[in-house]
Structure 1
């Protein structure tokens, strides 16, 4: 049986994105970060809404307007489509496991 907490590598040189489910209307993705941030030169500017929850670790989402939201275990956020955002920080002490649901 698949498990969100299995197969977490000890060495994570880059963020790891894995689609868990996908159809024409929704995509569910597991994201693993370990001290990673979004590339400095770009923002996520998606044509889908994104609901994201932190299941392990911590992370900060920064918005183009300068607002930053820190998420810990169990905390979630809905990001409307076309709202520019990026990952500003994830804890370097342990992997951060995000679950993201993208929907139209």
Structure 2
């Protein structure tokens, strides 16, 4: 008898029971290999601190799975990339960016792949 195929994990498991913006964002590493890391990020209304920019040594591909968010890039001042479920973006290594906002009152789930 063949064993049934079962998923190893569910990207929506373990989410906070309700959005709580005062809590820290949740970062869960799903896979880590040399030159590559896959993580789930859970936001509940957070944004990057004022004046803070991510400046990462690896490229990052991001998919928004649920919720909504706005990303700002230092090289495009005054513009915000609005992301909705299903949207993806590739952020080149060294491209300074920040989370301008995440949806208030709902949970935003991101899937991020960091790679060389």
Q: Provide the TM-score with structure 1 as the length reference.
A: 0.95
Q: Which runs of 4+ in 1 moved over 3 A?
A: none
Q: Tell me the CA shift for residue 3 of structure 1.
A: 0.6
- Does 26-35 or 11-20 show the bigger shift? 11-20
**Rg: which structure is higher?**
2
Look up the SS of the partner of 1:93 in the other structure.
Answer: coil
Q: Say whether residues 1:58 and 2:65 are aligned partners.
A: no
Aligned residues: 104
Greater strand fraction, Structure 1 or Structure 2? 1
Q: Provide the TM-score with structure 2 as the length reference.
A: 0.85
Q: Say whether residues 1:16 and 2:23 are aligned partners.
A: no
Q: Say whether residues 1:90 and 2:97 are aligned partners.
A: no
Q: CA RMSD in A?
A: 1.1
Find 1:36's aligned residue among 46, 49, 56: 46
